[in-house]
Amino acid sequence: MKLKSKTQDAVLFYTLRVISLLVIALLLFIMFVLTKSAWPAISKMGFSFIIGREWNPVEDQFGALPFIFGTLITSFIALIIATPVSILVALFISEYLPKNVSRIIALLVEMVAAIPSIVFGLWGIFFLSPLMKETIAPFLKKYFSFIGLFEGPSFGIGILTASMVLAVMIVPTISSICRSIFELIPKHQKEASYALGSTKFEMIKMAVIVPSLSGISSAVVLGLGRALGETMAVTMLIGNSPVIAKSLFSPAATMASVMANEYTDANTPLHVSSLCYLALLLFFITFLSNLLAKSIVKNFSRLR
Amino acid sequence: MSEIKEKIILEAKNVEAWFGDFQAVKGISVAYGEKTINAIIGPSGCGKSTYLRTLNRIHEETEGAYVRGEVLLEGQNIYDKRIDVVDVRKRIGMVFQKPNPFPSLSILDNVVVGLRLQGINKRSTLMEVAESCLKKAALWEEVKDKLNSLGTSLSGGQQQRLCIARALAINPPVLLMDEPTSALDPIATAKIEELMNEIKRDYTVIIVTHNMQQAARISDYTSFFVYGKMIEHGLSSDIFTNPKEKQTEDYISGRFG
């Protein structure tokens, strides 16, 4: 009897161990394959690939900077739009709605994350793009042209349009993490604030937001992770032109979008290899942003 | 109800507290004299904490919870529609069962956070109030050299005294205490009981306690609650030596509850 339960435990232990190791092995294997395929480009161009501004496969010119720029700028703008919206949505759900309603609303917000990326892309093309061209762009040009980022004509697709769709896509991620952080705030903290004569707004500020700041930042970084790698919707909306433009109306391309666009008709070995190099870089950037989010969460739990 | 000698500062009139359909407090009427310590005792689940939470209108912050009846603070009904609940809570402070300093604030900031809420930001005023309140809460000597460390770095008993100092800082005439020592060890409890006598000089205290000896030691008046009703209220010396009601006698002699 005793022996049997011991063997059972041992079987379970080794099975779990093998499966977990397989997952890690897969990660290493993907990295290995990527590095191997990227190696011709890495050995030929090295670091100059990263700072190169020209991308011209016909001339065998491969510079990744426009894509790195495109990825970072679209993700950054998406975060600027999505962060405040997500925090407000999370606050509304956790602090204002009665429990039975809040569960439904929270579920609906999270459902937005389940919408396939291509659907967002179509929505962007048929709804957001005309709106950008006819309403948003003229408005921004009229009132905010002094910032210097809103110049030239808008064709409906470009950096800003892609960023806005990205923002919509990451709101559910950020807001649902924020909501679960807000819901972790002990009731006695809120009451402590109320008991000192604070209004609801002051209570939210001192008992909900301030203690959650690091949690909110990690939610934002996780949202960033999603935005950096997002491919389909961005490819459909960014205009796919490998330039570093000053105006947010102009088209650009991201690391993910150029891979999606070009891998099918990449016919020189260096082109394929350059795309893999790009993939490796994107992998590295998202890996770093996830690591950052993890370390923030770690500091956060230590504070608690 | 027994007569009180002191000037009445707070008076509950037929207070009922509800959680949705459930009535936790059933028509409590009692008057509290100025600068007295009033204990509320009773078995678990008798509604004593809920009743206390109606006195500064914090009960209604729970979803589905509401109150009926009147609570008069210096003659004015705090449940009057024209009264701002924020003002009520500035005048009726509260200390909770579990020490709850704000985790992201320093010791100093925890004490003066209520003043900051009122827009008082002058450093010298804040320091002055912090020192006097920490002294009243018998914590000053222990923390005067580390006012900038986090409030949560203190021990449980110190945190609770910090919360008392925080409640005193906005200088409320009435202070509610909801089992303030139930999470503390006997030494920390003794410290808090000691400072109650100090606090009594300037404030009216209403304290819910699980601990009958505590009620007998520190309070001037005691109310005994069972199932949301007040069975008896009177001078603590009478309640604990010569209770009028059979139920009270059974409870304090340990036969019930």
Residuewise pLDDT in 10s, chain A (304 residues): 566 778 888 999 999 999 999 999 999 999 999 999 999 999 999 899 999 999 998 888 899 999 999 999 999 999 999 999 999 999 999 999 998 999 999 999 999 989 999 999 999 999 999 999 999 999 998 898 888 888 888 888 999 999 999 999 999 999 999 999 999 999 999 999 999 999 999 999 999 999 898 889 989 999 999 999 999 999 999 999 998 988 999 999 999 999 999 988 888 999 999 999 999 999 999 999 888 888 887 776 655 4
Instruction: Tell how far CA B240 is from the center of its chain.
Output: 21
| Residue A161 token pair | 């349009």
Q: Helix, strand, coil proportions of chain B in percent (round to 5)?
A: 40, 25, 35
Instruction: Give the bridge partners for B16, in sequence order.
Output: B68
Give the strand pairing for B76-77 and B65-73. Answer: antiparallel
If you search the block for the tokens 């009535």, which residue do you land on?
Answer: B23
What are chain B's domains? 8-252 (3.40.50.300)
**Residue B215 in contact with residue B236, Cβ under 8 Å?**
yes
pLDDT 10s digits, B3-28: 677 889 999 999 999 999 999 999 99
CB contact (8 A) between residue B118 and residue A197 = yes
| Longest pairwise C-alpha distance within chain B | 56
CB proximity A195 to B under 8 Å: yes
pLDDT value for B1: 46
Chain A residues whose beta carbon lies within 8 Å of the beta carbon of residue B118: 197
Q: How far is CA B196 from CA B121, B161, B165, B169, B176, in A?
A: 29, 11, 12, 15, 12
Edge to edge, what strands does the sheet with B229-235 contain? B92-95, B174-178, B204-208, B37-41, B221-226, B229-235
CB contact (8 A) between residue A197 and residue B89 = yes
CB contact (8 A) between residue A197 and residue B86 = yes
pLDDT value for A6: 83
Phi, psi torsion values for A80, nearest 5 degrees? -60, -40
CB contact (8 A) between residue A197 and residue B90 = yes
pLDDT 10s digits, B43-57: 988 899 999 999 999
Give the strand pairing for B37-41 and B221-226. Answer: parallel
Q: How far is CA B37 from CA A12, B22, B143, B173, B182, in A?
A: 62, 30, 27, 12, 18
Comparing CB atoms, the residue among B63, B103, B114 nearest residue A196 is: B114
**Residue B113 in contact with residue B163, Cβ under 8 Å?**
no
CATH 1.10.3720.10 fits A48-303, yes or no: yes
> What SS3 state is found at B207?
strand
Beta-carbon contacts of B48 under 8 Å, excluding residues fewer than 6 positions away, are: B40, B41, B42, B208, B225
C-alpha distance from B255 to closest chain A C-alpha (Å):
33
d(CA A40, CA B47): 76
Beta strands in A77-229 (DSSP E): none
Counted across chains A and B, CB pairs separated by less than 8 A come out at 67
Burial of B241 (0-12, 13-18, 19+ CB in 10 A): exposed
Average model confidence (pLDDT) for chain B? 91
Q: How far is CA B218 from CA B2, B211, B215, in A?
A: 19, 11, 6
- What is the domain partition of chain A in residue ranges? 48-303
Burial of A76 (0-12, 13-18, 19+ CB in 10 A): middle
pLDDT value for B191: 87
C-alpha distance from A270 to closest chain B C-alpha (Å):
54
pLDDT 10s digits, B116-161: 999 999 999 999 999 999 998 889 999 999 999 999 999 999 999 9
- Test the A interface: residue of B52, B57, B61, B105 with most A CBs within 10 Å: B61
